[in-house]
Chain A
């Protein structure tokens, strides 16, 4: 009975957020630009030696993508809190967790997806072998939504505060340590010709867990943070 309206609400939410993001296309380009700049600086700092760059390439790309996402994370709910639409959403009959899940999906599409698209380019700049490239993309495809979901919970917790940039990084660091380890581990294993499926599978398992739990936690956190 309530299925069609719920699906329609989800679609409307997603469409709204994507439209809003498209209206401000410049903001989408920012994390991508940031990632390119950071990656360009590494060879200058470490020297243009091929072997060295090849060894650090996957790690650098992963950390750069993570930092670029962190940069954009702060704005996930910012405008919705300012214009009050998030409070409307909390009062709406549709489950808040589901609606927030849609917002997280929209945020992932607008910030992480462009980063994944240019990641092979960044890795290529650092001479990552082409055979390893698919593993890097798989790892990013699983790691970035995980980061978006975990980050969304933390962003929701800081929603009621004003200065949250550095705090967000401090709070996210312990949570993203396992993600970075497994994502980088998969690429490193592939680079050494070892089986890389296990870490990817761990990432996938973590992603499934986070897909179920993180929107619920995000909704709970938002209710705490905006409960004035």
Chain B
């Protein structure tokens, strides 16, 4: 077996234009899929905190849940 070389690895036997975009799509789509619930979660918790703050402002004695 011939020793490993980066140039040959990146060239993919002339198919680099097909192989690497395929891998890029794979990783980008899955990355977006993985990160999206994190953003949604942050927004939800922020909204919830705002709602709790409003409730607290309305009746100051009840500091926790109604």
Q: Do chains A and B directly touch (beta carbons under 8 Å) in the complex?
A: no
Interface residues, chain B, with chain A CB atoms under 8 Å away = none
Interface residues, chain A, with chain B CB atoms under 8 Å away = none
